[in-house]
Amino acid sequence: MSSKSSRCDDNGARAARQPGGTPLYAPLADAMDAAGAAAWGIAEAGEVDGPTMERFDSFIARGLHATMEYLERYREIRLNPLRLLEREPESGAVIVGAFPYASEYHPAPGADRVARYALGDDYHEALRKRLKPVAALLRDAGYQARVCVDSAPILERYWAEKAGLGRPGLNRQLSIPGLGSYFFLAEIVTDAPLPPAPPLLPAEVENPTRAAGCTKCGACAAACPTGALRPDGTFDARLCINYLTIEHRGPIPDHIPTEALRGVLYGCDRCQEACHLNRGITARPRRSLPWRPSTTFPPTSAPSFCAAPPSAAASTAANPPLHHPLPQRPPPKIFPSHNITPVVAPRPTCPTCPTCPTCPTEPPKKIRSPRGEFLARGLRTIYVFWGIYFLSAAAAAAAGV
């Protein structure tokens, strides 16, 4: 069986999976196709099952989410995505779409690496813009609809699995048969009566191993240089290079090996590159997200990225601390015109004998910026005016006027 799918095959698959008595499904399928979803499915909305929420709560309670405090908020909404709607319904559906990004990435020799998903446009804006017509279709039919792209408190991989798109692997990434794990997930939460249906996948898959999903071979955990992925399936974000170079603020912790981050600029794909499900993918997505394959990043200079400060070089020679390679938040702006602190002018040097002790020593001059000098003069004028006023008032009171 061929691994490529045609438009006729897609139409036949849609007809075979269309739920009976659901006239909204056909235009919805066309809208998702126009949005560029390479695979999509429908899951019945409701409360997340107990074991999944217990694992999530344990992940938070153990502090494995590091400083990502936003994961602690809105637990009730994560428990039931229907609470994202303005009027919480009793029932509804979650439409989940997968949008592939660049799976091929060949940086220039010596260039710092960037995660594949970050090579293109901002997927939050791109996917939200693509799914607006789909949400408008549901609203025009009289239903509520909300587009969620990574920023909403919703367990994306859970609902993608419920929709039948794929199953998460040991590396915590969802893998779709014939598509691998190089894709974004986006959801539309709606109260429309859309019964679950078999997902529309990008292609038929001949390889039964790839179709079965993750085999727990441990290749991803072995490829993780910091031990963020453990063989038992536990994930520690505090050790993840993705977290350290994207979410983390400040210097890289001392316990992170220097070599693990050398040559890394933004994000990490090592656990996905090691996965056999991402090899030999031949299915062509209907519409890939725009990206910049020619983008290259020069090597980061060692003094600014991997070297310790001179004062601490002796104590940290074995494992110098790594500083975040991305620009930090700018400091508060200081306006020079508000600064009237005197600045010491440099002393002019003698042209013939710069170090001669007999040269006259002139006291350092104090200079200000033009605006600072103007403000200082204004303050002096006000002080003189009020001094004259009080002296005049005192003299008049003494004279009995």
Helix (H, G, I), strand (E, B) or coil at 113: strand
DSSP 19: P
Q: What is the dihedral of CA 237, 240, 241, 245, to 10 degrees?
A: 10
Residue with tokens 């107990």: 50
Paired strand residues for 367: 343
Q: What angle do CA 110, 116, 121 make, to 5 degrees?
A: 115
Compute how many other C-beta atoms are within 10 angstroms of the C-beta atom of residue 98: 26
**Distance (Å, whole) CA 208 – CA 215:** 11
Scanning 275-369, the segments in alpha helix (DSSP H) are 302-305
DSSP 229-297: B-TTS-B-GGG-HHIIIII--SSPPTTS-HHHHTTEEE---HHHHT-GGGSS--PPPSSPPPB-TT---
Residues with a catalytic annotation lie at: 150
The first and second tokens of residue 184, run together, are 């974004």
Q: Are 133 and 224 in contact (CB under 8 A)?
A: no
Q: Which residues touch 381 (CB under 8 Å, ≥6 apart)? A: none
Phi and psi (nearest 5°) for 362?
Answer: -95, 140
Q: What is the CA angle 134-139-140, rounded to 5?
A: 95
311 Cβ contact partners less than 8 Å away, ≥ 6 residues apart: none
The C-alpha atoms of residue 221 and residue 275 are separated, in whole angstroms, by 10
* Phi, psi dihedral angles at 48 (to 5 degrees): -65, 145
Residue 29: CB atoms within 10 Å: 21
